[in-house]
Structure 1
Amino acid sequence: MKHLMWNKPIALLTVTFPVTPFFIVYFRESSTPRGPDSMAARSFVLWLHGLGESGPANESIKTFFTAPEFRNTTWSFPSAPSKPVSCNYGAVMPSWFDIHEIPVAAESPKDEDGLLKAVQNVHAMIDQEVASGINSENIFICGFSQGGALTLASTLLYPRTLGGGVVFSGWVPFNTSMLGQIPPGAKQTPFLWSHGMADSTVLFEAGQAGPPLLEHAGINCEFKAYPGLGHSISMEELLYLESWIKTRLRSSS
């Protein structure tokens, strides 16, 4: 899906991408410093891109996070596998799961089977960081558009409490029956949900439908609407995200 950071299109819905093997490319970059600050708590931010994008194309996002609290943050920008996408007439492109129609509305058809396979891969990435010694409550999952939808499902179905789940221009990619599968620990994970009110790719009403579902399940969700913003991420959103994560980082692992 089109991601218009700094008004520069990154991917078009109708572009056909070359076929690549079915696997997730896992780009993991550490920003661990030398010296006294290296004793501070470690944290991990996983960023999930939108339809047709790639992980490396989003790596510049981490340059907005300049506060000292992020000196021991590891960033990961994985790439989705390439597969046929129904809304693009079967064109092959990087996609976490299938999308049946564009624009995405609250009642659009859902590919739950494909979604759950992608969730398993995200959980494997989180497990790797927990095994390395990072406190799960210092792990933040963020995603734009299709990546935001995957962020929602992955965070809700993870068995531990995470630092937070952050959805940009996303939607609810599963039926409400899946809410009954949320583990107790996941219900303690806070969410930040941002959506442009001028979004014509993932309709604002599709994003707006998400937070009430979370609140009904007893999950804390902060919803921020951005008038005039289309299907993109603004600098204002990223600056707020930095503050939002910073206030939730635990002081020790």
Structure 2
Amino acid sequence: MSHSINIKTAGQSLEQAKKAIVMIHGRGGSAEDILGMSSYLHVDNFALLAPQAENHTWYPYSFIAPVQENEPWLSSAIDLIDHTVKLALKSGILAENIYFFGFSQGACLTLEYLARHAQRYGGAIAIIGGVIGEEINRNNYKGDFAQTPIFIGTSNPDFHVPLERVEATVSILAQMNANVKLMVYQNAGHSINREEIDLANEFVL
């Protein structure tokens, strides 16, 4: 199975906007839900692009399951993110003006996509996520972020996303020349908090 191309949009039109943000929902969530987060973010003049996963899930198992168990869903999900990014590029928005926001399963997908397609972007915000796979396959990750700001917020402990994987992800992104800021909140639950939104606005947007 694969994801059909279904991208919800809001904010400025791609033709008018100088900047775009790709917003990636979590498991069980929807493109509309994640677009609703934009009211808290400093994205007034952005085109907002939110791809929708089939059946509200990007891949069936945990992000730290063996990769082959999550295929072909995972590759299809990454392709859909790439398609979304290319829509913005085709409309004339530069990669350095493309931003990302992902939560939970969407944060994992955001970080995996970025690590596989590193270049200078506007920035990225990933709340509770890490790169995908039982083992980290460093060979998949190439390129230079040229100091793209990436903010990662997480809870410790988090039932779905072990802190150790988040820290390993930070280390990979930093080695690829990203400017990464990690905030770990004790017992914060699987949610987005006010401070994360403030830091996302200040550090990335």
TM-score range, shorter chain: 0.7 to 0.9
Q: How many aligned residue pairs are there?
A: 199
1:25 aligns with 2:6: yes
In structure 2, what is the equivalent of residue 176 of structure 1? 136
**Matches of 1:206 and 1:185 in 2, distance apart?**
21
Write out per-residue CA displacement over residues 88-128 of structure 1, whole angstroms, 9 at most, x where no aligned residue: xxxxxx2112214xxx6xx6433365322211110111111
Across the aligned residues of Structure 1 and Structure 2, the Cα RMSD in angstroms comes to 2.5
1: CA distance, partners of 2:168 / 2:150: 14
Unaligned ranges ≥5, structure 2: none
Residue 37 of structure 2 is aligned with which of 50, 61, 78?
61
Please say if residues 21 and 46 of structure 2, whose CA atoms lie closer than 8 Å, have aligned partners that are also in contact. yes
Distance in 2 between the 1:23 and 1:211 partners?
31
**Quick one: which of 216, 229, 243 aligns to 2:202?**
243
2:103 pairs, out of 136, 144, 150, with 144
Match of 1:98 among 57, 60, 66: 60
SS of alignment partner, residue 149 of structure 1: helix
% same residue = 24
Report the Cα offset of residue 188 of structure 1: 4.8
Q: How far 1:159 moved relative to its partner?
A: 6.0
The answer for the alignment partner of 2:54 in structure 1 is 81
TM-score, with structure 2 as normaliser: 0.84
TM-score (norm 1): 0.69
Distance in 1 of aligned mates of 2:44 and 2:33:
22
Could you tell me how far 1:153 is from its partner in structure 2?
A: 1.4
Change in Cα spacing, 1:198 to 1:160, as seen in structure 2 (3 Å) is closer
Give the equivalent residue in structure 2 for 1:227.
Answer: 186
- In structure 1, C-alpha distance between the alignment counterparts of 2:125 and 2:44, rounded to whole Å: 20
Do structure 1's residue 211 and structure 2's residue 170 form an aligned pair?
Answer: yes
List gaps (5 residues or longer) in structure 1. 1-20, 33-37, 83-93, 247-253
Distance 1:185 1:62 in 2: 28
